[in-house]
Every structure is written in C-alpha cells, then in structure tokens.
Amino acid sequence: MTVNLPIKLENLPRNLPLDGAVRIDLVEGVLIFRASSFVLERIEILLSKQKETALTEEEETELDGYEELDDYLSLVNRMIRRR
C-alpha cells in the first residue's frame, strides 16, 4: 500500500544526522515517530542561544529545518493514528 503525503520535505537540516535522528516509540500499540534526543538537545541549544543573541543564518536555517521535520513527523503520526 502506498500512502501519498500531502506535505513533502524539501531538504533536511545539514546538521541532522541521517542515523538516529528519529526515534520510534510504541504507545498503546501504535507506532509514534519522534525526534531523537540528539535532535531535541540541538533544538534546545539553538532556542537558548536565540533568547540571548541573534542566530547566524545557518543556525536559523537549521532551526527552521527541525521545525519542518517536526511538522512532517506530526503529520505521519496523525495518519498512523487514523488507520
């Protein structure tokens, strides 16, 4: 079965590791996709820095990429729950 997702990622953040970026949990018998602890820590670092000073253009792009990834994972999780 092929599932067509209405949202498509244009690219992944450059600092996003290809291995270990997404964690899969089993909640009440349903697979849930979440960002890994590495990604969550990196987001926290960027958000903390953003509170103190302006992020570089590269850091802004990275943070935007993580937000895009989070939106995509949320969409996938909603689709899984509906099935």
Which residues are 31's β-sheet partners?
A: 26
12, part of any domain: no
3, part of any domain: no
- Burial call 4-22: b when 16+ CB within 10 Å, e when fewer: eeeeeeeeebeebeeeebe
16, part of any domain: no
pLDDT in tens, 12-47: 666 666 677 889 999 988 899 999 998 999 999 999
pLDDT in tens, 40-81: 999 999 999 999 999 999 999 989 888 888 888 998 899 888
Q: How many domains does the chain have?
A: 1
Give the global pTM. Answer: 0.73
Res 37: pLDDT = 92
Which residue range is the domain that position 73 belongs to?
22-82
Res 1: pLDDT = 45
9, part of any domain: no
Maximum C-alpha span of the chain: 48
What's the CA gap between 21 and 19, in Å, rounded?
Answer: 6
